[in-house]
Amino acid sequence: MTSILRNDIIFILLFSIAVGVIVYVNADRTLAFLIRKSLGSRDEIFRILDLMFVEVDKKKITWGMLLISFGLGIAAFFALWPNFWIGLFVGTAITIAGWSLPLVLVKNMFEKRCSRFVEQMVDGLTIMGNGIKSGLSVTQCMERVVENMQNPISQEFALVLSQIRLGRSVEEALVELGDRIPKPDVQMFVTAINILKETGGNLAETFSTIVVTIRERQKIEKKIEAMTAQGLTQGFIVSMVPLVLMGIFFAIDPSFIRPMFVHPIGLVILIVIFVMIIIGGLTIRKIVKIKV
């Protein structure tokens, strides 16, 4: 058995057959997972970019994602040849990271845009409240916001006004605004207008209440960010300790750490280390992150 395992070709062949059998047995789940992680990620990127009013060439985005994932992964694999297992591990990691990274970046941009919209709501609702007091309608107040404020609130309110001019009701246009900006403060704003249009009430006072609520929520969020910053930093440091120690050992005595990168058992240990680092980092982040 030892002589067979030492033969790289036979070992690779047996490993490939084992992987093929596992994939065949779980074909449906594997196919669904691959579609969700590949085409699903691409479609989600397109959807988020549309919500941010960003016009893109879908073909170029697709080819770009393929290039930075599979392209760089294959390049890394051949760059590390003939170290098959190291090349396979590094190439696979780069491929997964390269395909997932664009979605993470786009979601981060979308989250910042939504947060910026909520911050602008303080000034926007103040303008609308003053407009209501002077006798203007909700749509006229929104036009004042579009004229006097910057994006993204100007873009979103302009889209709401365009939908209303095309025949959509104010309620439907505002509900779609709440769907595009999935923030509790926006939902509160939309619900307040829709309810008061049906039942009647003081919109100006309601807007003032929403502004106070947003300001208090922002104070709490900033306080929580300050309190959790230490935990996030500690989690990052703890996650980086194994990698730093590995680098120190490699610099001091390369022969001591080299078997982990060339021996199959060492590669398995290396994979387990990286998986545990990722799980530990995500767990710490989830523990210290508090949603308001």
pTM: 0.67
User: Is residue 202 domain-shared with residue 149, that is, in the same domain?
Assistant: yes
Residue 30 belongs to a domain: no
Instruction: Find the mean pLDDT for residues 217-227.
Output: 79
Per-residue pLDDT, 5: 42
Start-to-end CA distance of the chain, whole Å, equals 58
User: Is residue 121 domain-shared with residue 185, that is, in the same domain?
Assistant: yes
Residues 6+ apart with CB under 8 A from 124: 145, 149, 153, 157
pLDDT band, residue 7 (cuts 50/70/90): low
Instruction: Tell me the residue range of the domain where 283 lies.
Output: 217-292
- Residue 172 pLDDT more than 60? yes
- Residue 30 pLDDT more than 60? no
Per-residue pLDDT tens over the stretch 123-143: 888 888 888 887 777 788 888
Instruction: Find the mean pLDDT for residues 113-119.
Output: 87
Residue 184 belongs to a domain: yes
DSSP 290: -
Q: Which amino acid is at 151?
A: N
User: Is residue 211 domain-shared with residue 245, that is, in the same domain?
Assistant: no
Tokens of 158: 């302009």
Tally of domains in the chain: 2
Q: Are 72 and 95 in contact (CB under 8 A)?
A: yes
Last residue of a domain, one of 216, 232, 247: 216
Residue 206 belongs to a domain: yes
Per-residue pLDDT tens over the stretch 256-269: 777 777 776 777 77
User: Is residue 222 domain-shared with residue 145, that is, in the same domain?
Assistant: no
- The share of the chain scoring above pLDDT 90, in percent, equals 0
- Residue 108 pLDDT more than 70? yes
Residue 127 belongs to a domain: yes
Per-residue pLDDT, 184: 83
